[in-house]
Amino acid sequence: MYAPIVAQPGHKDRLSAVDASFLVQEKQSSHMHVGAVVIFEGPAPGREEFMAHFGARLGRVPRYRQKLAFPPLEAGRPFWVDDPSFNLDYHVRHTALPKPGDERMLKRLVGRIMSQQLDRGRPLW
């Protein structure tokens, strides 16, 4: 399953009971994560510009650089730990619709992406 990571004494950054229940309920055929599509007007920034902008602000939301750790023998809810091998390129990917790119094609692409289970060995986004 998942390699346990032992919590530091006094560690209090555990998942809420509701969040932990989402993990327990998740199965191979029923994922419990959520997502959204946002469409902006105007020209899109280049990848380098976008990554620099996003990367510069990533420190403001530490949870985005954290992954789950599971206590030994599942003795309690999982907790959050910093991911020492965090890689922004893994989480932000570029994809494009083939031309002419309509709403139906966008929905199919998003459906395909959202049907993939999140890797619990990495930050969950």
Q: Is residue 108 part of a domain?
A: yes
Q: Is residue 1 part of a domain?
A: yes
User: What tens digit of pLDDT does each residue of 48-97 get?
Assistant: 999 999 999 998 999 999 999 988 887 888 999 999 999 999 999 888 89
Q: Is residue 96 part of a domain?
A: yes
Q: Is residue 115 part of a domain?
A: yes
CB 17 within 8 A of CB 25: no
State the Cα–Cα distance between residues 69 and 38, nearest whole angstrom: 31
User: What tens digit of pLDDT does each residue of 7-51 get?
Assistant: 444 556 888 889 888 888 888 888 888 889 999 899 989 999 999
Q: How many domains does the chain have?
A: 1
Domain of residue 94: give its range.
Answer: 1-28+46-125
State the Cα–Cα distance between residues 40 and 106, nearest whole angstrom: 14
CA 91 to chain centre: 7
pTM, two decimals, is 0.75
Residues for the chain: how many in total?
A: 125
User: Coil, strand, or helix at residue 93?
Assistant: coil
State the Cα–Cα distance between residues 123 and 48, nearest whole angstrom: 22
Q: Is residue 40 part of a domain?
A: no
Q: Is residue 58 part of a domain?
A: yes
Q: Is residue 35 part of a domain?
A: no
Q: Is residue 84 part of a domain?
A: yes
